[in-house]
Amino acid sequence: MLKQYLDISPEVKAALDAGKPVVALESTIISHGMPYPQNVETALAVEDIIRQNGATPATIAIIGGKLKAGCTKDEIEYLGKKGQEVTKASRRDLAVLCARGADGATTVTTTMIIAHMAGISIFATGGIGGVHRGAETTMDISADLEELAHTPVMVVCAGAKSILDLGLTLEYLETHGVPVIGYGTEELPAFYTRKSGFGVDYRVDTPEELAKIFRTQKELGLGGGMLVTNPIPEEYSMDKATIDAAIDEALRQAEANGVHGKATTPFLLAKVKELTGGDSLSSNIQLVFNNAALAAKTAACLGK
């Protein structure tokens, strides 16, 4: 039944059948996260980094109603060019998009779902969604957190942007039993900056140990995912005051424009980028590269 919707690329299928390491990548970052052509260039460069680190990349998306685990260059180009026209697809969108034969850019949530369907257990991205500021009245909590609670995929990210309430995001993850690991750090990274003022649950310093903990979680039958937060390399990290000012302004504009629902995150991300210019885009690209390399190294240890 699932087979008619799931389309695993030949390269990804061969790697999975041979028990070789595979790393999933999301497509919202391509269609909604960066401008064309940097989005396509970055997506292809991330795939190369994963290959250089000994794993096979599987860029995930929904194209013509098919859940793709592994996109071709042409498909990545297509998603990048269409940009915001592609539906940002969360869990609630999957059935409609598949039934209609439509396209969708996968968020952290749907990338985890499709990776798991395909048998891929590790995924690299930039930042995850979380509990929005003001969620005590809006109830705007990203479906990413719920997916981390239930789907057994390790997500390697650079933490979350402080467009979110990072404290509440950590509380939510704790309630739902998701381990939050700092890679080489005791502090939750805040995407553009290495620090956030909030602690992680555990610090881990090697890909081997990340793999061991994830394997143990599976062996214990606990289910659910694991969140690995990998700080942006020092040389690309941004000035906290500059970023905070841009985030405050973006939040103000979102409120003034009555932005809500699934539009909130893309709106805030685009505004922050606009207000900080090219600096934040190059930092964003570099942290994704850094996460891809760590995920590939960890994927290689998972098979052992």
| List of residues contacting ligand PSU (CB under 6 A) | 26, 28-29, 33, 107-109, 126-129, 142-144, 161, 191, 262, 265, 269
Catalytic residue among 26, 47, 147, 187: 26
Count of Cβ atoms closer than 10 Å to residue 117 Cβ:
16
Catalytic residue at 26? yes
- CB of 17 or CB of 239, closer to ligand PSU: 239
CA-to-CA separations, 70 to 6, 102, 112, 152, 166, in angstroms, rounded: 11, 17, 13, 19, 32
DSSP secondary structure string, 2-36?
GGGTEEE-HHHHHHHHTT--EEEE-SHHHHTSS-T
Residue with tokens 């990998």: 230
Could you say which of ligand PSU, Mn ion, none residue 191 binds, taking C-beta under 5 to 8 angstroms by partner kind?
Answer: ligand PSU
Select the residue whose beta carbon is closest to ligand PSU and give its number: 127
The residue with its CB nearest to Mn ion is 140
Q: Are 153 and 112 in contact (CB under 8 A)?
A: yes
Task: Count CB-CB contacts under 10 A for residue 203.
Answer: 14
Distance CA 55, CA 207 (A): 14
185 touches, from Mn ion, ligand PSU, none (C-beta below 5 to 8 Å by class): none
Question: Of Mn ion, ligand PSU, none, which one does residue 238 interact with (CB within 5 to 8 Å by kind)?
Answer: none
Q: How near is the Cβ of 269 to ligand PSU at its closest, in Å?
A: 6
| Helix H or strand E segment including 299 | helix 278-302
- Tell me the longest C-alpha to C-alpha distance in the chain: 53
Of the pair 247, 295, the CB lying nearest Mn ion is at 247
Q: What is the C-alpha to C-alpha distance for residues 301 and 304, in angstroms, rounded to an integer? A: 5
Q: How far is the CB of 126 from ligand PSU (least distance, A)?
A: 5
Residues that bind Mn ion (CB under 5 A): 140
Is the CB of residue 174 less than 8 Å from the CB of residue 164?
no
Residue 262 Cβ vs ligand PSU, minimum distance, rounded to whole Å:
5
CA distance 274 to 66: 33
Which does residue 246 touch among ligand PSU, Mn ion, none (CB within 5 to 8 A, set by kind)? none
Q: Work out how close the CB of 143 gets to ligand PSU at its nearest, in angstroms, rounded to a whole number.
A: 5
Shorter beta-carbon distance to ligand PSU: residue 114 or 128: 128
CB of 209 to ligand PSU, least distance (A): 26
CB of 77 to Mn ion, least distance (A): 28
What, of ligand PSU, Mn ion, none, does residue 26 touch, CB below 5 to 8 Å by kind? ligand PSU
Instruction: Please indicate whether residue 161 is annotated as part of the active site.
Output: yes
What's the rounded Cα separation, in Å, for the pair 273 and 84?
A: 15
The token duo for 14 is: 């061969």
Q: Closest CB to ligand PSU among 45 and 208? A: 45
What residue 110 binds from Mn ion, ligand PSU, none (CB within 5 to 8 A, per partner kind)? none
Catalytic-labelled residue, pool 13, 68, 161, 297: 161
Q: Give catalytic residues, as residue numbers.
A: 26, 161
